[in-house]
Amino acid sequence: MTHAVEPKVTLDLARGLGLTADEYDRIIARLGREPSYTELGLFSALWSEHCAYKHSKVFLRKLPQAGRRVLQGPGENAGALDIGDGWAVVFKIESHNHPSFIEPFQGAATGVGGILRDIFTMGARPIALLDSLRFGDPADPRMRRLIDGVVSGISWYGNCFGCPTVGGEIAFAPEYAGNPLVNVMCVGLVRADRIFRARAEGVGNPVFYVGNKTGRDGIHGATMASATFDEHAEERRPTVQVGDPFTEKLLLEACLEAMAAGVVVGIQDMGAAGLACCTSEMPARSGTGMAVELSQVPQREAGMTPYELLLSESQERMLIVAARGREAELQRIFAKWELDAVGIGEVIKGGELVVRHRGEEVAHVPIEALAEAPVYEKPFAAPAWLSERQSFDPLSLPEAADHGEALEQLLASPTIASKQWAFRQYDQQVGINTLVLPGSDAAVLRVKGTRRAIAVSTDGNGRHVFLDPRRGAAMAVCEAARNVSCAGAQPLGVTDCMNFGSPERPDILWQFAEAIEGIAAACRALELPVVGGNVSLYNETSGAAILPTPIIGVVGLLDDAGLLATQWFKGADERVALLGPEAVSLGGSEYLWTRHARLAGALAPLDLETERRVQAAVRAAIGAGLVTAAHDCAEGGLAVALAEACVTGHEPVGCEVTVPEGARRDLTLFGEGPSRVVVSVAGSRQREFEALMAESAIPWRWLGVTGGTGLRLRVGSATIVDLGLDRVEHAWRNGFERHMA
Amino acid sequence: MRFGVVVFPGTWSDCDFHYVVSEVIRQPVKYVWHRERNLDDLDCVILPGGFSYGDYLRAGAVAGRSPVVEALPEFLARGGLVLGSCNGFQILCEAGLLPGVLMRNECLQYRCQSTHLIVDNVDTPFTRALRPGQVLQMPISHGEGKYHVDAETLRTMRQRNQIVFRYATAEGQVTKAANPNGSLDNIAGIVNEEGTVLGLMPHPERAAESAMGGTDGLLLFHSLLGSLVEDGTFSKR
């Protein structure tokens, strides 16, 4: 029987699949003939921006990737770092922006599913998830539904699978209304000498398809993720995959069991571009070839064509290269977990991918050709409007008359306010590793059987990056690392998710290029290798791009889990200090947006050496047991950091603080700047702390004391903020939730 | 005391219970696969939390008919004890080993949060180390934890002192605000008539070490250990 009539391969068809005329010509030149329909499908998926990083590759090379702890850098399913005692931490962040906009629940759910598989294909058991989400105004009912869909999707998948969601952030800006961001980071643990890789080693080794059956869902998801949206976006709903977290959980246990039994040689998740991606990338990494027979693929729909079987993005599937002679063992393990494990081919000599369907050859291409997507060096240039935006002086706006009221307003802004509404829908503790739950600067998870713990945080401020891509992106690295340092952990490495608009526009590509420079500079200064990540371009709807938003995930290590710190004040009569420079700016601040609905101005200066030293000082103070709380000053500046330290703990604790005189008061209170940390110090340790700070050679000052029933901020002898803790807490607790209730 | 932690496809608190039994209370423990019917070498069987079979039908409905659950009545008749937490509680209700059902949370959302429980019954092997009216702190993590039972059964359960834990404030007040899922009468945990099967929605294994934020869950394990008398049988008091 022959399969359904296939469309004739033409330039128009190629264009319809997202290839350009140039790319189509290149394929013909490379093959020396017209590709078959199935082959064209392979090229269109593997040469998509999503799979091939065509526009971003030249920039990504600039990121530092080496370090003494790096066990696996970019190019595999995830990165891995050595954390001692024979353990490695495996982590990566990935976006699922496009699917989540089209179908929020399943889009977000399968985003979680995809990143979990990236971690456990490395042989690691996932121990933590973090979600970095960006939406438009939650007061808009349409946005509310979207937020609810995304949060329920994450909750459903992560909870059912059994991996705790321990952190992440949610921020809001109108630029995300037409294109929300759903970035998910996953962290796993594995014995350092038991890391698995996505390689097809050993000619003659059998190739097994394991997991869920293949259906027609998600065909051309990778291509969809490489295009911008218009008003017809919802018509693309069929390209969104449907998740099954229960099957994923079985797949996790079966894969880890098969790996432990020694029957797995190499393994890759069938994520974007499904089987097409696995059958070409795995042999490409090991210089081998692969032959597969598609009719063997477990299918849940009748009459699927070779094209559909190769490009389906059905979830919860893996491709395994098994050890020859151990096939029965592999099948027994998967049968125990009630999953399919079917031999569909073998590793072959030479660098060819040979795809057959019912014995008939439907694709036969050099694997190198599939891996050789064009690399573009497109022109980029700073947008003409930028200098005018940057030169705006926020101090030309009138000063707030009532700083207490301004602080309440800021605490109640959805970006700053408590996200408990979302987090209480996520299991935060399964695995009993979570020592610090969501709500502090970083989550902390113990490594059982050792004294160690890891700290994790994600960060990225689109407004900052919009106004100054290079400095803003560097500040995102610094802030994520600072969060980890505020938990007392040494930052070890970075994963980045680059969310931008269309790279075909010179101003967007310039944002991207500048942001990479900023990330690279900050990572070099803080000695943080970038071991993996993801690029999500074309985040635009009807020509309007999102704020350029690099999300930075940082993993850090505490040698002694007993010496961790959290962000909230622990009790009265402790001294409060501010570490770091005085320089702040209202440019791009949450205050300027919340109060004046403006996105303009210059960012505060960033000195990477000061940043490094402040973080080292914070860690040293925590490690010496001198500090009872440490909290990064981020959105909303010093006043918000102090308010959060007062009310985010189990019991609210007041404080009385005198802020520096000189600058305009709204700038001092709400101005944002890097390298600043608020700490509290027990009175009895004051001298030791002062000595340590003197040694650290960083700018710092005492601000005041904890205690009392309110948040009192003074300038000189004048009290400019005097809010009861109940009001502070009310503003912060309800600011976001009031929109969702 | 020999513990068995049951593993269904989709169980995820199995490792946590295993860890607490072996590393915190330092007792012998093994995993029990859901197809197992032989429970001869165990004193206490734990049905942990998770989403057995994805809970795609009703929570616990498929697992409630599995071989290991079918073997529980005989195990109980021999003098064994059964503790079901979260999905385990749902499974025990589905299997008819405990009265009532667990329905979708009243808020229609999943809830992971700390809760306070007031102890109503200390005359069980699971609670004998507690004081009546004592308030415990333990986290919950579920989407279907709203306990419901018909009025007649509830009356009988009350007469027989089968209600063990109720959601309460930190001060022990049983209020609507302290009820995280809309459970009837704030019920968080119950026992069977004989007091040998405990089902509760909260997670004692997540409150068994100070590093995890509290040790109130450990009191259940201590009660169990204290209930084991020398000849290998359990004292109900």
Of A155, A429, A435, which is closest to B110 when you measure between CB atoms?
A155
pLDDT tens digits along B11-63: 999 999 999 999 999 999 999 999 999 999 999 999 999 999 998 888 999 99
CB atoms within 10 A of CB A298: 17
By CA distance, what is A335's nearest residue in B?
A: B9
For A16, the token pair is: 């319809």
Per-window interface: B 198-217 vs A, CB < 8 A: 203, 205-206, 208-209, 211-213
Q: Which of B18, B34, B86, B116 is catalytic?
A: B86
pLDDT tens digits along A356-400: 999 999 999 999 999 889 999 999 999 999 999 999 999 999 999
Q: Is B48 on the interface with A (CB under 8 A)?
A: no
A424 CB neighbours in chain B (<8 A) are: 109, 111-113
A112 CB neighbours in chain B (<8 A) are: none
Report which secondary-structure segment, H or E, holds A527.
none
Report the C-alpha gap between A31 and A27 in whole angstroms.
6
**B9 with A424: Cβ contact below 8 A:** no
Of B19, B54, B212, which is closest to A160 when you measure between CB atoms?
B54
Of A152, A161, A424, which is closest to B111 when you measure between CB atoms?
A424
Distance (Å) from the C-alpha of residue B63 to the closest C-alpha of chain A?
14
Please give the pLDDT value at position B235: 60
Ramachandran sector of residue A52 (left: φ over 0; alpha: ψ -120 to 50; beta: rest)? alpha
Kindly tell me if the per-residue pLDDT of B237 is higher than 50: no
Concatenating the DSSP letter of every residue in A85-144 gives TTEEEEEEEEE-HHHHHHSHHHHHHHHHHHHHHHHHTTTPEEEEEEEEEEES-TTSHHHH
Report the C-alpha gap between A398 and A405 in whole angstroms.
15
> Which parts of chain A sit beneath pLDDT 50?
1-3
Active site residue B203: yes
Please give the pLDDT value at position A224: 60
Report the C-alpha gap between A730 and A727 in whole angstroms.
5
ipTM: 0.95
Contact present, A416 and A410 (Cβ < 8 Å)? yes
Please give the pLDDT value at position A1: 38
Size of the A and B interface in Cβ pairs below 8 Å: 81
Report the C-alpha gap between A235 and A83 in whole angstroms.
46
Please give the pLDDT value at position A231: 61
Distance (Å) from the C-alpha of residue A291 to the closest C-alpha of chain B?
33
Q: From the candidates A432, A434, A568, which should be mutated to test the interface with B, based on the most B CB atoms within 10 A?
A: A432
The percentage of residues in chain B with a pLDDT greater than 70, rounded to a whole number, is 96
3-state SS string for A68-85: CCEEECECECCEEEEEEC
Please give the pLDDT value at position B26: 95
pLDDT tens digits along B157-204: 999 999 999 999 999 999 999 999 999 999 999 999 999 999 999 999
Q: Tell me which residue has tokens 């710190």.
A: A565
Distance (Å) from the C-alpha of residue A249 to the closest C-alpha of chain B?
6
Of B56, B112, B211, which is closest to A246 when you measure between CB atoms?
B56
Contact present, B75 and B42 (Cβ < 8 Å)? yes
Please give the pLDDT value at position B101: 97
Question: Which of A633, A595, A629, A639 has its CA nearest to residue A732?
Answer: A639
Spell out the domain ranges in chain B.
3-226
Q: From the candidates A127, A242, A427, A560, which should be mutated to test the interface with B, based on the most B CB atoms within 10 A?
A: A427
Q: From the candidates B35, B90, B110, B181, which should be mutated to test the interface with A, based on the most A CB atoms within 10 A?
A: B110
The percentage of residues in chain B with a pLDDT greater than 90, rounded to a whole number, is 93
CATH class of B3-226: alpha beta
B55 CB neighbours in chain A (<8 A) are: 160, 246
Of B112, B209, B211, which is closest to A427 when you measure between CB atoms?
B112
Please give the pLDDT value at position B215: 96
Active site residues of A: 50, 96
Q: Is B55 on the interface with A (CB under 8 A)?
A: yes
**A159 with B203: Cβ contact below 8 A:** no
pLDDT tens digits along A569-622: 999 999 999 999 999 999 999 999 999 999 999 999 999 999 999 999 999 999
**A431 with B53: Cβ contact below 8 A:** no
Please give the pLDDT value at position A75: 87
CB atoms within 10 A of CB A145: 11
Report the C-alpha gap between B94 and B73 in whole angstroms.
14
The percentage of residues in chain A with a pLDDT greater than 70, rounded to a whole number, is 97
